[in-house]
Structure 1
Amino acid sequence: MKWTKHYQTSRTPQNQPIPGSNQKANNAGGYAWEVSDWTQLDRFLILGSEGGTFYVGEQKLTIDNAEAVKRCIELDGIRTVNRIAEISESGRAPKNDPALFALAMCASFGNEQTRKAALEALPRVARIGTHLFHFMDFVQGFRGWGRGLRRAIGDWYNQKDVKALALLAVKYRQRDGWTHRDALRLAHPKAQSDAHQKLYRWITQDEFAPAQGLEIVDAFRQAQTAPLKEVVHLIEKYRLPREAIPTEFLTRPEVWEAMLPHMPLEAMVRNLANMTRIGLLTPMSESQRLVTQKLGNSEAILKARLHPIKVLAALKTYAAGHGMRGQGTSWTPVQQVVDALDAAFYTAFGSVTPTGKRMMLALDVSGSMEAGQIAGVPGLTPRVASAAMALVTAAVEAQHMITGFSAAGGGYGGQWGGGDPGMTPINISPRQRLDDVVRTVARIPMGGTDCSLPMRHALKEKIEVDAFVVYTDSETWYGKIHPAQALQQYRREMGIPAKLIVVGMVANRFSIADPKDAGMLDVVGFDTATPEVMGDFILQ
C-alpha cells in the first residue's frame, strides 16, 4: 500500500484539508484558510456585500459580515471604530455605506466606551447629509433614540460652519425617507450661532431670515420660481448644485454649462453622460476641454478622494453609450473624455512605487467570479474588475505577465464539463483602454476554480517569478494540490523564494494564503492602499 496516497502534506487535493492545517470547507466544497475577523472587516468596509457572490446570496453574505463586525466590536470596540473611521476618511472604499452600517453597529452593540467613541466618530464617517441619513436609518434598526444619539446628531449640525451646513441643507434634502427636519426635530440641538438658529428655523418651519452664510439658501429659494435666465445667473453667482435646480431646467445645456466650472469632481464624473446627451459635451468644445483638464489634474483627484471604482464604473457606462440597465437613453461618447477617464483610473490609486521584481498577475476568471458586483456597481463583476485591478500593478512594473486560469480548449472546464481548467495568457496592457480590457476578459471561457494553476504553470514552463499575485474569491476546489503547496513546490524546485499575494475580490471569509507562511499575504481588492502594500511586501 502507498500510504502517502492517502496522507501527505506536500500534495493534497483541494477538496480535502491539508493534514495538520486548520483549513475549513469553503462555499465551493474545497478547503481554504479562514481570514481573521479583522481582515473580513476590511473586506466588508471596502467591497461591501451587495449582490452576494456565486455561492452566497446577498442576505447571507451581509449577515456573515455583520457577525464578523460584531465579533470585532466584542474583541476591541475602540480598534473597530478607529478602523472604520480610518478607511472611510481616507477614501479607501468606493462606497461609504458599509462604514456607516458598521459604525451604527458600534454605536449600538459596543460597551459604553465603544458607543461613545462611535458617536464621536460620526462626523468623520458621515461627512455629508446623505451619509447622516444612511447612518440614522441603520442605527434605528439596532437601537432607540437615547440621549447620547440625539446629542451626537445635534453636534453633527452644530460643529459645522454655517456656510457649509447651508450648502448641505439645499443639496441633500432627503434620503432613505429622512430629512434634515426629521433629524433636527429628533436631536433638538441648541444652535451655536444666530445664523445656525436661522438655518434651523428655515429647515424645520420653512421660515427664512437672511444671515451671513445663508446666501445659498436664499438663492435656492429664488431658483424654485425663477425663469431660466435667472436660474443660470443664480448658479453662476452662488454656485448652486444640481440638486438645487428645478427638474424642468436639468435638460438645458446652459444650466449645465453654468454648473460645470464649480461642479465637484465626483459629481462631474457621475454626470458625463447627461452632459453629453443634452449636447453640452461635444468634441473640441470648451466643456470638453474643461472636463478633460479636471480629469487630468492628479492633485485634484486625490484631494477629492475620487475612488477608482467610481471612475471605472463611469468609464464602463460612458464608453458604452447607453445606461447599464438598457438602451432607454443613449449618447455618443466623446473620445477625449473616454481617454481622460481611463487615465484618471490609475491616478485615483495615487503614487505606486515599482518594485523591479518579476511578477505573474493571475486572474481567476472562473464561473464564480462572474457573480455579484464590486461595491454594488451594475455589471462590474469580480471577474472583470480583477483585470482592471491587475493593470494598476502592470502599469508600473516592467517585468510582469498577465494570465488567467480558465477552461480548456475554449470550452467549460472542471465542474462544468469539457476538460480540466488551464492557464490562458491574457493579452491586455495598461496601454489599452480599460473598456477594451474588460471586453477582452469577458470573452475568456470560464472553468472550475483551481488557484494552484499559476504556480504549477510557472514551474512547468520554468518561468522565473518573484511574486505571484492572484486575484480571486478563494473559492478554489478543483485541483489535485493546494495553492500553498504548489507555491512551496515552486520554491523548492526553482530555487526562488517566491511570494504569494492573494487579492480578495469578494467579502467572504476565505483565503488560499497560509497565514503561517511569512511569504504569503492577503490584501483587499480595490482598496486604494493595496498596490503600495503589495509593493512593500514584495520588497521585504
Structure 2
Amino acid sequence: MANLLLFRSLLRNAPLADAHNNEGAPAFAFTARHKLAQMVMTGCTNETFYASAQAQLNDVLEMAKEFDDLFLAKLAIYGRERAMMKDTPALLTALLAARGSALLPVVFARVITNGRMLRNFVQIMRSGVTGRRSLGTRPKKLIQRWLQDASEARLLQASVGNAPSLADIVKMVHPRPQAAWQEAFFAWLIGKPCDRAQLPEITRSLLAFREGINSETLPDVPFLLLTGSPLNKAQWAQLAQKMSWQTLRMNLNTLARHGVFEDVAQVNLVAKRLADKTQVRESRVYPYQLLSAWNNVQNSVPTKISDALHQAMEYALENVPRFTGNIVVCPDVSGSMHSPITGWRKGASSTLRCVDVAALIAAAVLRRHPKARVLPFECDVVNVALSARQSVMHNAQKLASVGGGGTDCSAPLRKLLAERAQVDLVIMVSDNESWLDKSRRGSTATQACWENLKKRNPHARLVCIDLLPYGTTQAAERRDILNVGGFSDDVFTVIDNFVNDRHGSEHWLNEIESVVL
C-alpha cells in the first residue's frame, strides 16, 4: 500500500487532469490541433477497441472545421509522406476540395500518388461526407491530369481494384487523350471498341496472354491481372521475379503453395530480393509489415526466406537513432492492445495487433541500445527475459506473447521509482487507456510518478507513442514530455528531434508545421 500513499502525496504537485479516457479514468485531453494530427496518423477509419469507424470519421470532420487550409494541407502531406497513411490523408484532401481551397493542386499532387489513393479520393468525394457528392470542376481537372500524365505501367497498376475501379473513374471524368495510345487504352479500359494496334506494347502483350496467344512469357504487369487464368509452376517462378518488392513480401505463402520454393535456385533468388538493401529502402516498407510477413509465413516457406525477412528488418530499422544515457522502453501488453493495429473491417482486418507494434518498437530500441531496459506492462510490469543479441523479430514475438490484462500505464514508472533508478529517456508505447491506477480527483498516476522521477532525474524525458486515435494521454505535453501518434518508423525521427531540442514545446506539431508546400 506504500505506493498508493506515494501517489496521493504526489497528486498535489502534478498538473490536474482535464479529461477522462474511454475507461472513465482521469486523463489529459490533447489540444484540438494535436487530436486531429493524432487521428490522421493513427486512424484507419475502421472499428477499434473503443471507437467505431463512424465515430472516428465524425471526429475528423468536426475537428477539421476549426482549422485553416494551410494546416490541413500540411497535415495531409505529412500523413502521407512521413506516416505513410492512406485513408485519412485522402480524406483531408477531399475536405480541401470541398472547400475549394487554392492549396488543393499542391496537396493532390503529393497525396494522390498511386491508383489506390486516387480511388480513395474519388470514393470519399462521391460518398458525400465532405458535403457534396459531385467531384466538382477543379478535382475533376486534377483527376483528368493524373490520368493524362500517367504512364502505361502506372495505369495498369491503377486498374487493379474496385469501388470505384479505374474504369469507373475514367467514365466519371472523361479524360482527353493526349496520344493515340491513351485513346485506345481508355477505350479498352471501359469496354469500348478500340484499335488494338494503337494499344501500348505491354497492354497488347497482356491481351495476347489472356487469349492464349503467347502464354509462355508473362507480360510485365501487376500479377493480379494474370491470375484470372491458371498458371503453372514455371510461370509462378517468373512472377516471383517480376513482382514488386512489397507484392513479393505479401505473397510468400502463395508462391510456396504453387511450388516455387521446391526449386533451390528460386529460393535463393527470392531470398536475395527480399534482403536487397536498396529494394527494402525504395519500398518504404513499414517495419511492422515485415513482422507481419515473418509471423505469417507457413512451414512450406524455407528458412532462408525467413532469414531474408530478418535482414530486411535490420535495413528497415536503420533510421532508429542512437540515444545517450539510460533508456527504458515500456510496451503496453494489456488486453485492449490485442486489437488489430489498423482496426476491424470485415474481410480486411490486419492480423497484426497493437501489441505487436508496441513490442516491435521496444525490440528495435533494444537492438540499437543493448543496455536499454524493456518493461512491458499491463496490470503491473510483466517480467520477460530478452537479449539484445537476439533478432528484432524474435524479441518482438516474445514480448507480444505475454500480457492481456488491465491497463496501468504508471506501473513501469512505479517500478523505476521503487528502484531509485537513474533514467534519461523513457519511451512508452500504448493506447493510453489506463484505468487500474485511476483516482477520483487530481492528476493521473502516470503524471504523478513522472513528477517524482524527475526530481531524481531532472534531465529525463518521457515519450508517449500513441497507437490509436482516442484523443487523450496520461502525461501532459510539455518541454520534457512528448506525445506522438503513429506506427510508422518516422516516430523515431520525431523522438530524435525531441531529445535533441530541435523543436519547441509543441514538439510533434512543430514537426508537422515544418512541412514545406
Same fold (TM over 0.5): yes
Alpha-carbon separation, structure 2, partners of 1:374 and 1:478: 25
Alpha-carbon separation, structure 1, partners of 2:117 and 2:110: 10
Q: How does 1:76-155 map to 2 (within 5 A)?
A: 76-90=68-82, 92-93=83-84, 95-108=85-98, 110=99, 112=100, 114=101, 116-142=102-128, 143=132, 144-155=134-145
Q: What residue is the counterpart of 1:409 in the other structure?
A: none
- 1:510 pairs, out of 468, 472, 479, with 472
* Preserved CA contact (<8 Å) 2:23 2:434: yes
Unaligned runs of 5+ in 1: 13-17, 322-330, 407-420
Alpha-carbon separation, structure 1, partners of 2:15 and 2:230: 68
Q: What residue is the counterpart of 2:239 in the other structure?
A: 259
Superposed CA offset, 1:26-52 (max 9, x none):
111111112233433343333324553
Q: How does 1:36-435 map to 2 (within 5 A)?
A: 36-49=31-44, 51-68=46-63, 70-71=64-65, 74-90=66-82, 92-93=83-84, 95-108=85-98, 110=99, 112=100, 114=101, 116-142=102-128, 143=132, 144-160=134-150, 164=151, 166-173=152-159, 175-204=161-190, 205-211=192-198, 214-226=200-212, 230-233=214-217, 235=218, 238-250=219-231, 252-282=232-262, 285-318=264-297, 321=298, 332-374=300-342, 377-406=349-378, 421-429=379-387, 431-433=389-391
Higher relative contact order (CA 8 A, sep 6+): 2
Aligned alpha-carbon RMSD (Å): 2.7
* Preserved CA contact (<8 Å) 2:187 2:194: yes
Q: Which amino acid aligns with 1:214?
A: P
* Preserved CA contact (<8 Å) 2:252 2:301: no
Compared CA separation, residues 200 and 248, structure 1 to 2 (3 A):
closer
Superposed CA offset, 1:237-295 (max 9, x none):
x4233122142324x2211222222321111111111111111024x722222222222
- How much does 1:495 deviate? 4.0
TM-score of the pair, normalised by structure 1: 0.82
Superposed CA offset, 1:46-91 (max 9, x none):
33245533332333234334433x23xx41212212321233134x
Compared CA separation, residues 452 and 19, structure 1 to 2 (3 A):
closer
Compared CA separation, residues 195 and 309, structure 1 to 2 (3 A):
same
Compared CA separation, residues 80 and 148, structure 1 to 2 (3 A):
same
- How much does 1:402 deviate? 0.6
Aligned partner of residue 424 in structure 1, secondary structure: coil
Q: What residue is the counterpart of 1:499 in the other structure?
A: 461
Q: Which amino acid aligns with 2:409?
A: C
Alpha-carbon separation, structure 1, partners of 2:221 and 2:280: 22
Alpha-carbon separation, structure 2, partners of 1:48 and 1:232: 44
- How much does 1:217 deviate? 0.9
Compared CA separation, residues 9 and 59, structure 1 to 2 (3 A):
farther
Compared CA separation, residues 506 and 263, structure 1 to 2 (3 A):
same
Q: Which amino acid aligns with 1:303?
A: E
Q: Which amino acid aligns with 2:480?
A: G
Pair 1:535-2:496 in alignment: yes
Aligned partner of residue 468 in structure 1, secondary structure: strand
* Preserved CA contact (<8 Å) 2:334 2:406: yes
* Preserved CA contact (<8 Å) 2:380 2:412: no
Compared CA separation, residues 347 and 375, structure 1 to 2 (3 A):
farther
Compared CA separation, residues 340 and 66, structure 1 to 2 (3 A):
farther
Aligned partner of residue 492 in structure 2, secondary structure: helix
Once the two structures are overlaid, the 10-residue window that deviates more, 40-49 or 447-456, is 40-49
Alpha-carbon separation, structure 2, partners of 1:532 and 1:149: 33
- How much does 1:501 deviate? 0.4
Identity %: 19
Alpha-carbon separation, structure 2, partners of 1:397 and 1:436: 16
Q: What residue is the counterpart of 1:444 in the other structure?
A: 402
Alpha-carbon separation, structure 1, partners of 2:269 and 2:257: 17
Matched residues, number: 482
